Homo-oligomer: A and B are copies of this chain.
Amino acid sequence: MTDPLPSTSRSLPIALIRAREGVMAPIREMLSETGITEQQWRVLRVLDEAGSMDTKTLANRASLLFPSLTRIASAMRDKGLITQTRDTVDRRRQMIALAPAGQKIIDDHRHRAGQIVDGFRATLGTENYETLLDLLGRLDPGPRD
């Protein structure tokens, strides 16, 4: 018996990459004028949504690996987008908070970002959009604790 792999045109990993390309294209276009990257935008989004938090929690919520976040946070600190402070009790820990310049980027682009999301929701239809999020969620491995 042969044991054919699925055609690459029906391959789940490739489909996920391509869908991500399609979704991120307009977002990247929006962000290009701000000078921040897609990952930095995710960090700002999470901090705006949930307030300041420690690095580990931030990495999980923004779906970034720890070493990536170390570099990203250091770049964002240098740009004045966030602040980093050592936990006084456990000096291994670090708290990260939104700085005014970071908050301004969120505020300035919240509306357009919402429009982009609405565009995709309209493309698929609300029901399909929610179905897609549910199915994707079932493939999510969860936090790597």
A: residues with CB less than 8 A from B are 3-8, 10-25, 27, 38, 42, 45-46, 49, 61-63, 110-111, 113-114, 117, 120, 123-124, 128-129, 131-133, 135-141
Contacts and interface: CB of A to CB of B under 8 A. Distances in A.
Q: Give the interface SS of chain A, mostly helix, strand, loop or mixed.
A: helix
Contacts of A15: 132-133, 136-137, 140
Given A16-B19, A27-B13, A141-B18, A124 B135 contact: yes
Contacts of A141: 18, 21-22, 25
Nearest to A114: B3
A62 B16 contact: no
Which of A3, A13, A137 has the most chain B CB atoms inside 10 A of its CB? A13
A99 to B, nearest CB: 19
